Amino acid sequence: MQLQFVGCGDAFGSGGRQNTCFHVTGASVNFLIDCGASSLPALKGLGIERNAIDLVLITHFHGDHFAGLPFFLLDAQFSRRTRPLIIAGPEGIQMRFPQVMEALFEHSSKTRQKFELSVLPLKPEETRNIGGVKITPYPVVHGDSGGPFLAYRLEVEGRVLAYTADTEWTEALVPLGRGADLLIAEAYTYERAVRNHLSLQTLEEHLAEIAPKRLILTHMSDDMLSRLDGLGHTAAHDGMIVEF
């Protein structure tokens, strides 16, 4: 399995980083996790073939994770995509998706695609298999707007990939990431507690319990980015490729 960080930034482009978007490929799977506002130019910049992507998995409806979808969809239409596309995310996505399309490109939500488009709501702790990706969503804690908020534990081609999404500490992160081959975790700040987000210090307090085989930090603020030297953990950067 391979994962490329198309974008690993926060909502504010800290460090000049792109909004959240991870591209995961294996022998028979090709999907995105999150599609933040800047994802289409970031995908194009990395030379990633958008029309080979079968699934886009959304963690929540904040723009830095979700607002790239209208651009992605329009690009698919104009590049004559024929491959079916599944967009899956928290409940409410059937309403939120046309809303974001309309907000960014008026009337675009009514355009009929020339490819089959499915928008699927996912429920916390209800495992679904979508195109060979076994998805278990966990509920996470990230404030009062833009939810529901999901983190994902994915079993795919014999490997386990877990992503915390944006969240403050919640016990759900233990089963989410336990023993995962790769855990991608938010480390918004180094030690400073920020509501709705995870600090590296808090994550470290629970790391032995989660015991991921590998950990990569993402969604870092300027504060966290200034601490990367000698950190003792791997931090993501845009374009980074990980085999797991």
Nearer to Zn ion, 50 or 62 (CB): 62
CB under 5 A: which stretch of 120-128, 133-141, 163-171, 223-231 binds Zn ion? 163-171
Residue 186 interacts with Zn ion (CB under 5 A)? no
**Residues 68/61, Cβ–Cβ less than 8 Å:** no
Closest to Zn ion by CB, 16 vs 232, is 16
Of residues 4 and 164, the one with the C-beta less far from Zn ion:
164
Binding-site size for Zn ion (CB under 5 A) equals: 4
Q: CB neighbours (10 Å) of residue 107?
A: 8
- How far is 180 from 152, CA to CA, in rounded Å? 11
- Before 148, cis peptide (omega within 30)? yes
Q: Nearer to Zn ion by C-beta: 76 or 225? A: 225
User: Which sign, positive or negative, has the C-alpha torsion 223, 8, 97, 137?
Assistant: negative
Between 54 and 64, whose beta carbon lies closer to Zn ion? Answer: 64
Contact 85, 59 (CB under 8 A): no
Among 166, 172, 184, 200, binds Zn ion (CB under 5 A): 166
Q: Binding to Zn ion (CB under 5 A): which residues in 8-27?
A: 11
* Interface of this chain with Zn ion, residues 106 to 125, rule: CB under 5 A: none
d(CA 152, CA 30) in angstroms, rounded, equals 16
Q: How far is the CB of 178 from Zn ion (least distance, A)?
A: 23
Quote the crossing angle between the two packed helices 93-104 and 69-78, to the nearest 10°: 70
Q: Which residue has the tokens 């490729």?
A: 241
* Least Cβ distance, residue 38 to Zn ion (angstroms): 12
Structure tokens at 72: 């992605």
Nearer to Zn ion, 48 or 140 (CB): 140
Stretch that binds Zn ion, among 67-75, 81-89, 111-119, 160-168 (CB under 5 A): 160-168
For the bound state, the minimum distance from the C-beta of residue 236 to Zn ion, rounded and expressed in Å, comes to 13
Phi and psi at residue 231, to the nearest 5°:
-75, -35
Least distance in angstroms from the C-beta of 199 to Zn ion:
15
Cβ proximity of 36 and 67 under 8 Å: yes
The 50-79 site mask, x for binding Zn ion (CB under 5 A), equals: ------------x-x---------------
**Tokens standing for 12?**
């504010």
Kindly tell me which of 8 and 135 has the beta carbon lying closer to Zn ion. 8
Contact by Cβ (8 Å): 42, 17: no
The footprint of Zn ion (CB under 5 A) covers 11, 62, 64, 166
